[in-house]
Each structure stands twice: as C-alpha cells, then as structure tokens.
Structure 1
Amino acid sequence: MERIEHGSEIIWYDPECFDSFHRDFFEIDYWREQDAIRGKAIGRNTTWFVEDGVSHKVLRHYYRGGMIGRVMEDTFLHVAESKSRAMSEFTVLTKLYRRGLPVPRPCAARMVRSNLVYRADIMLERINNSADLVGILKERALNQEEWQTVGKMIRQFHDAGLYHADLNSHNILLDDDGKAWLIDFDKCHFRQPNTWTRENMERLLRSFRKEKDINSEFHWQESDWRILLNSYKAK
C-alpha cells in the first residue's frame, strides 16, 4: 500500500491496481474528460463505474444517512486517519481480499480534511458480469444451488469474524458463473463469534421480506430462505 499526503488530502492506494496512479482519479470530472465513465448506480447516492485501461472500477463518495445526513450530508467529524470511513473500509477489504474471500479488490481510499471535519471516497475493482439479488429476483427465481451458494458464501465471512453492518439483499451479488459476492463494507469490522451472527442473518431475512412487500414481481419465498439457511449452517 502506498500513501500520498497533499495539503489536506490523504490517499492510500494499491499500485498493482493501476498503471500509474493520479490524485485526479477521485474526481468524476476527470473521468468525464477521459470519456471513461461506463455507467452508474443510483441508490441513496450515485456510484460511478469507470474504466482506466487496467480494469473497470467503482468510485464511491461517502454520505451520511438518517436525520444527521440532512445537516452534514457528506462530512464526518475528524478522526485519526486509519479510523476514517474510507481507510477503515479499505483496511477491512484488504484483509478479506488477501484471505481469498469474494469481495471487490480495494484500489484506493481518500480523506480530505477541512477544519474539524473530513470527506471521503473509495475506489474498488468492479465485479464484472454480476447483479445484486434484488435485481435478479425481480426478473427470475434463484434455483436451489444458487441459494446454497449464497448461504455458504455468508458463512465464509462469519467464520472469518466479519461483521457486516448492512447485510441485505442489495449487497449480495451473483455473477454469470454462479459465484456469490459480498459488497459494501462501510462500517464493517471483525468480531469474535457470538450472537451477532444470528442477528446479522435476521437482518438479511428482513431485507428479503421487505423487498417482497414492496415489489409486486419478486421471485422469493420463505422456502428459499430455508435453503439458504440450511446451507449456511452446514459444515
């Protein structure tokens, strides 16, 4: 990992992700000028997909949620560099990636300080030819093998002690080869095994039920959850 400090800006990056790294990589206007934007995903905020000649990458700016987000939309109270949102996620992802777990490769993280607050961004390699479970289930049902794959994948992370702060059906991907991936590791951390694993799974179940309630065409049923859970529990 390399580190750049330029004025109020601090950047960590993996040089193996790039031919040559530039600070401008965190600016979406740079990618517009390069005609290198390949798409975007719009949720609470916009995530950009870009191509830099080495690989397709994801560029994400950090925003606050909830009521406080209305006041401090994308600023966070200053903390130690390693504890900033971007650097924390970069660190967690690096550990998981090096263990061979199915996560996006972390490429770069940035924090920009301003008095008592900072803003943050992260850049990851994109998981190509994949879609999140919500998008897939709006189109078709998953078969038994796919549900088993998802269950085994989640168990891998829990066995590694990874607490996912937002384990939901949007943050699980399946690629064209049937491999399951986990994304969005903001505010995630490692814990000793405990009751949090059950609570994590209950959160995921609630997300499936929520999507079922709000989408008239959502190909999920409670029996699918039992298949996933049995696979998760299997040794």
Structure 2
Amino acid sequence: MGYRQFKSKLARVIYDDEVVDADCEKLFHCDWHKANSACALVERGKAVMFKYREWELVFKQYHRGGLAGRLVEKSYLYSRLPNTRVWREFNMLRAMRELGLPVPRPVAARCVSLPPLAYRGALITERVPDSRTLTQVLCDRPVDNAQWSKLGALIARFHQKNVYHADLNASNILLTGSGDFYLIDFDKGSIRNSLSRQDADANVARLRRSLDKLQKRHSEFHFSEDNWQALESAYRAAVAD
C-alpha cells in the first residue's frame, strides 16, 4: 500500500492506493463530477465536494497556461513534472502529514500536457470531517479566545516546521465540530530549508488583513481585537520556545 503513479497519453497521475485505485482518472473528468456530485459546473479554483466509495473527497482544478505561464516557465511539463503546481501541492501535503501537521490527506493528482508549453492540473484530497471554514464559522458565531490562542499556536507549529502558506486567510482555515483547526490550500506554498522571520510574519499579517476585510464585508462577523491579541500572543509565545 502507498502512492502509485501511471501515465496515459497526455497525463500523469499519482494516487494513494489505500483510497482509490488505477481507475481513479475518471474522477478528474468534469462529466463524471456533473453526474456524481451536486455541482453542475466544475470551475478552476473552485472546490467540489463528492463521495467515492466510503470516502468524502474534495476536487480542485487549476491550470497554468497562456502568456503568464510562458513568461514564468519556458519549458517544464513532464520533463519537470515535480515543479508543476499540482505535483508540488500533492507532495507538500504528503510531507506535512509526515511531520504531523493537520492538513487534508492527499488522494490523487493529475497533470495534463497542453502542448507546446502549458499544462492543466487537478487535485483530490480527503474532506476534513465535520468542518467549516473559519470564515463560515465567524459569520455564524463567535470563537472564544481559547480557540484563537489554539489557532495562533498551530500557525506557529507550521512555521517551526518551515512551512510557508502562500495565502493564509480565514477561508483557508478549517474548524471542526470538536474544535480542531486544519490549514488547507497550499497552492504555491513551500516547505523551506529555513523559513525567515519576515515571511512568517507576512503569513500572520495576511491572515489579519483577511479578517479585517471580512469584517467590513459582512454585517455580522464575530471578530474582535481581543480575539486577535489572543491569537498573536499565543503565536509569539510558541515561536519563542
């Protein structure tokens, strides 16, 4: 049991054979999702929740191509498959789980060649049971300061393991019914040899900006300066250890 790979005419697939098997490529097709999930349209960057066998899974599709892709990378597909966003996120999730960090289980990834220079990718992860984003929770109810402190300490754990989250915002944090936090969506993130204090602080500042924006956007949004002080104090104490 473990991670396996296979190659079709234009695609490469990696998958966790404890969850799916070699016929898992069908799970990456829009027609399959239209027929087997509540989502009528699969859009790039939008998560689709679906059930396969006994597993609750999440599908995310994204791609790199066009002018931006050509400017950033002249030639990378397949000869440099590990550098594609989808492969990097899949393997980053694997590595973080090995480090004991609370992130979704990676189930499968697919990278499709779009000659001559572009690719399209999609990622499937296990859905974190009984969870909602922090954004959804705060639109509904307050989170007590003990939980904010727990979140601050958790972010510190990621940083102590040299994990950089490229977009740490309230919608990329999950809170379960039992009070556990998970971080999600590590597209463009990285596990570095050493995470600088500047980049770690930028992660925390990014989260604060997202909370402030959400508070302005929603008439009912349960976030206060006191909450932030609880998070930041726990974070600073944890990174100082």
CA distance in 2, matches of 1:53, 1:31: 14
Q: Could you say if the C-alpha distance between residues 154 and 215 of structure 1 is closer, same or farther in structure 2, counting changes exceeding 3 Å?
A: same
Report the equivalent of 1:151.
Answer: 152
> What is the CA RMSD across the aligned residues, in angstroms?
2.4
The one-letter amino acid of 1:226's match is: Q
Report the equivalent of 1:22.
Answer: 24
How far the C-alpha of 1:152 sits from its partner, in A, is 1.5
Q: Could you say if the C-alpha distance between residues 20 and 118 of structure 1 is closer, same or farther in structure 2, counting changes exceeding 3 Å?
A: closer
- 2:209 matched to 1:206? yes
Report the equivalent of 1:91.
Answer: 91
CA distance in 2, matches of 1:53, 1:24: 14
TM, length-normalised to structure 2: 0.86
Unaligned runs of 5+ in 2: none
Map of 1:54-133 to 2, 5 A cutoff?
54-63=54-63, 78-79=75-76, 80-115=80-115, 116-133=117-134
TM, length-normalised to structure 1: 0.88
CA distance in 1, matches of 2:46, 2:134: 19
- 2:241 matched to 1:216? no
Report the equivalent of 1:230.
Answer: 233
CA distance in 1, matches of 2:43, 2:180: 24
How far the C-alpha of 1:206 sits from its partner, in A, is 0.8
CA distance in 2, matches of 1:231, 1:214: 27
Report the equivalent of 1:2.
Answer: 4
Secondary structure class of the residue paired with 1:62? strand
How far the C-alpha of 1:29 sits from its partner, in A, is 1.8
Report the equivalent of 2:171.
Answer: 170
CA distance in 2, matches of 1:44, 1:228: 32
The one-letter amino acid of 1:26's match is: F
Secondary structure class of the residue paired with 2:148? helix
How far the C-alpha of 1:210 sits from its partner, in A, is 0.8
Q: Could you say if the C-alpha distance between residues 89 and 207 of structure 1 is closer, same or farther in structure 2, counting changes exceeding 3 Å?
A: same
User: 4+ residue runs of structure 1 moved beyond 3 angstroms?
Assistant: 38-45
How far the C-alpha of 1:30 sits from its partner, in A, is 1.8
CA distance in 1, matches of 2:127, 2:20: 14
How far the C-alpha of 1:72 sits from its partner, in A, is 7.1
Residues 143-186 of structure 1 show CA distances to partners (whole Å, capped at 9, x for unaligned) of 11211121111111111100000011110110001000000010
CA distance in 1, matches of 2:131, 2:191: 26
Report the equivalent of 2:46.
Answer: 46
Unaligned runs of 5+ in 1: none
CA distance in 1, matches of 2:30, 2:217: 33
CA distance in 1, matches of 2:8, 2:43: 31
How many residues in Structure 1 have an aligned counterpart in Structure 2? 227
Report the equivalent of 2:184.
Answer: 183
CA distance in 1, matches of 2:121, 2:199: 28
CA distance in 2, matches of 1:219, 1:227: 14
Report the equivalent of 2:195.
Answer: 193
Q: Could you say if the C-alpha distance between residues 93 and 82 of structure 1 is closer, same or farther in structure 2, counting changes exceeding 3 Å?
A: same
Identity %: 32
How far the C-alpha of 1:31 sits from its partner, in A, is 3.8
